[in-house]
Amino acid sequence: MTERGFGALTMFENRLRKLKKEREKWAKRESITCYRIYSEDIPQISCILDFYPNGLVLYDKSSLRFQAEEGHEERFDLIASIVREVFQISEEQLFLKRRKKQKGTDQYDKLAIEGNFEWVKESNLEFRTNLSDYLDTGLFLDHRITRDWLRKASKGKSVLNLFSYTGAFSVYAASGGATKTKSVDLSKTYCDWALKNLEHNGFKTSNHQIVNADILQWIEEETKNPNRERYDLIFLDPPTFSNSKKMREEWDVQTKHRNLLLLLLTKFLSDDGEIWFSTNFRKFKMEVDEEEWKQRGYQCINRTKESIPADFRDEKIHQLFCIKPDPNY
């Protein structure tokens, strides 16, 4: 490794020691148990580090081209050893993830079969996480604030959670007093996980339903049902892209979001209902403009900036839009 490379590693170690102190103090003050520590703060060290009570997760965010270069594996191992040294943890307590360009349902694929499931606390709730077996852990930390907002907005409402993943938003909605929740996801693995999250937090009733289905197909079929339900609050956080064999058609958030949002608005939303739409596609542009929302009697409020937690320096980690009735309509 070059002298410049070792210099970057030294900078990384110093930065990590500083962040460790800052984040630990902040997390204790805010009663937060799972949080982001490092997020590509130093350009030459393209990694993300997340803290969980039962271990740390280190993601390699290097470009695919850079990952293919000679010596990259060795360098990533050095970064991992610095993390273990700074946090005084064993090799078993640091979980390494090498991100790759995803296709279809790669995000559902297992990386390992260790079965390391642990319950972690967020607010006064508990969620099942797995740091070793999947690319993601079961809880998207960047939506911590959004989940709390949803809980406060859910009292006495029926909530539809599309692309529901492990059901964290449904658990928050139920804990906020939602009269019913419905979680829809393509992955049976994540539907089972969502059921465990709901039951573990005391929400075992038939009012909290989980549907394992292709979301677009489910919506299409429900649209033809004259007795379909309408919901007071619809939350959706779809993937950027998916071409899973389980789906009837390919999904692309940029090209498909307009039709989906307008369909939900006209066919599934109650008269005074709201749609909360999030995406992690960094180049996303909302295709429905302000004037069109206005003509339909709605307003679309971009709540991205205030929804990103203090431990996330990446301001493009997600975008969040709240579509609600226009009071001036």
Question: What pLDDT digit, counting tens, does each position of 132-175 carry?
Answer: 999 999 999 999 999 999 999 999 999 999 999 999 999 999 99
pLDDT mean across residues, the chain: 92
CB neighbourhood size of 228 (10 A): 13
Task: State the Cα–Cα distance between residues 284 and 227, nearest whole angstrom.
Answer: 34
Asked whether 197 and 167 are in contact (CB, 8 A), the reply is yes
What confidence category does residue 245 fall into, taking pLDDT thresholds of 50, 70 and 90?
confident
Architecture of the 140-325 domain? 3-Layer(aba) Sandwich (3.40)
Residue labelled with tokens 């749609």: 275
CATH of 3-98, one of 1.10.287.4070, 3.30.750.80, 3.40.50.2300, 3.20.20.70: 3.30.750.80
Question: What pLDDT digit, counting tens, does each position of 80-113 carry?
Answer: 999 999 999 999 999 999 866 544 444 445 655 5
**Ranges for all domains in the chain classified under CATH 3.30.750.80:** 3-98
pLDDT at site 67:
66
pLDDT at site 249:
81
Compute CA distances 304 → 58, 210, 276, 284, 319, whole Å: 25, 28, 11, 12, 5
Task: State the Cα–Cα distance between residues 301 and 153, nearest whole angstrom.
Answer: 15
What confidence category does residue 3 fall into, taking pLDDT thresholds of 50, 70 and 90?
very low
Hey, which of 39-43, 97-101, 110-114, 249-253 has the most confident mean pLDDT? 39-43
**Ranges for all domains in the chain classified under CATH 3.40.50.150:** 140-325
Q: Which of 18, 17, 48 is nearest to 35 (CA)?
A: 48
pTM above 0.85, yes or no: yes
Which residues touch 273 (CB under 8 Å, ≥6 apart)?
230, 231, 232, 233, 234
